[in-house]
């Protein structure tokens, strides 16, 4: 099953995505089995981030080749982790499928995309075992971790390099019936493939992270866990960036320069 959030009639709706239509739902599928109350054509849908997370968790340097690449660039933190440790991102950075990634005016240095698998939590869990962690995942979506590397290397934290408005496209929907770790992640810019890697080729998988997180923090329905990327690539205004994960879908976003786009 595929669930999305769309904007129609001036409000946000949960929807169940079919081949041609999106059925509008009376509430969140994370809280039960909502009724169908209408529908819109899928090809005219205005896609929102498929969930607004209570907590936005993000994993870094979780693919061996990404660690090797970062180490080659002189990143002292680029070592294989001994345990799954997680960070956080800001909800204001989220944007939906087909909405623009906005590059801030005056930004210098590398501006990059990273294609990521995203786990969406579907139940409240604390001190989860591995099997319970697997059962806690409601479904999977796609993320594009946009990064401003100049700010990342200059600032003491990731506050603007990873968290600026529109820097975290997510969508287009949540897929509940896929073996996400058995898929392939592909990154394309203007239709040209820039990266492709086995989605599950991680140092620690999503369930390892849920086990570790819930030793200390309660995870709740709607929380998201972005799983890192193997590869990155440069993007620029005028580009269209696509992240595809087999069995889930394609997340596509144009890149605009601040001041040269319409909301």
Q: Over the stretch 216-246, which tens digit does the pLDDT of each residue have?
A: 999 999 999 999 999 999 999 999 999 999 9
The widest CA-to-CA distance across the chain, in whole angstroms, is 54
Percent of the chain having pLDDT more than 90? Answer: 89
Average pLDDT over residues 201-229: 97
- Strands, sheet with 111-113, edge to edge from the N-terminal-most edge strand: 147-148, 111-113, 233-234
CA angle in degrees (0–180, nearest 5) for 131-132-138: 110
Is residue 112 within 8 Å of residue 146, measured between CB atoms? yes
Looking at residue 65, its pLDDT comes to 78
Cis peptide before 172 (omega within 30 of 0): yes
Q: Is the pLDDT of residue 263 over 50?
A: no
pTM score of the predicted model: 0.94
Rounded CA gap, 170 and 96, in Å?
6
CA distances in angstroms from 142 to 118, 119, 145, listed in the order given: 5, 9, 10
Residues 6+ apart with CB under 8 A from 150: 107, 108, 109, 110, 161
Residue 42 CA: distances (Å) to CA of 7, 21, 205:
12, 5, 32
Both structure tokens of 187: 């990154």
What confidence score (pLDDT) does residue 203 get? 94
pLDDT band at 201 (very low <50, low <70, confident <90, very high): very high
Q: 62: left (phi > 0), else alpha (psi -120 to 50), else beta?
A: alpha
Predicted confidence (pLDDT) per residue in 136-165, tens digit: 999 999 999 999 999 998 999 999 999 999
Which tokens go with 67? 């660690």
Residue 235: count of CB within 10 angstroms of its CB: 23
Contact 66, 139 (CB under 8 A): no
How confident is the model over 46-99, as pLDDT tens digits? Answer: 999 999 999 999 998 889 876 776 666 666 666 778 899 999 999 999 999 999
| 221 backbone dihedrals φ, ψ, rounded to 5° | -55, 130
Quick one: tokens of 188?
A: 């394309």
């Amino acid at each position: 099953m595929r669930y999305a959030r769309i904007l129609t009639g001036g409000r946000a709706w949960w929807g169940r995505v079919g081949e041609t239509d999106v059925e509008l739902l009376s509430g969140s599928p994370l809280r039960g089995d909502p009724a169908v109350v209408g529908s819109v054509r899928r090809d005219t849908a205005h896609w929102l981030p498929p969930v607004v997370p209570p907590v936005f968790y993000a994993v870094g340097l979780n693919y061996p080749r990404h660690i090797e690449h970062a180490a080659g660039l002189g990143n002292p933190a680029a070592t294989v982790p001994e345990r799954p440790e997680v960070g956080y991102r800001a909800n204001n950075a989220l944007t939906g499928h087909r909405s623009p990634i906005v590059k801030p005016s005056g930004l210098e240095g590398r501006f990059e995309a990273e294609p990521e698998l995203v786990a969406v939590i579907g139940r409240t869990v604390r001190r989860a075992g591995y099997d319970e962690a697997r059962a806690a995942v409601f479904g999977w979506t796609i993320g594009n971790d946009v990064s401003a590397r100049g700010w990342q290397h200059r600032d003491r934290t990731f506050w603007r390099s990873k968290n600026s408005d529109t820097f975290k496209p997510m969508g287009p929907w949540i897929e509940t019936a896929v073996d996400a770790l058995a898929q392939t992640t592909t990154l394309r810019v203007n239709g040209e493939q820039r990266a492709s890697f086995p989605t599950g080729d991680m140092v620690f998988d999503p369930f390892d992270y849920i086990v570790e997180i819930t030793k200390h923090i309660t995870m709740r329905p709607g929380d998201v866990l972005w799983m890192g990327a193997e590869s990155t690539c440069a993007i620029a205004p005028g580009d269209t960036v696509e992240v595809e994960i087999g069995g889930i879908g394609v997340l596509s976003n144009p890149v605009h320069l601040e001041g040269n786009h319409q909301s």
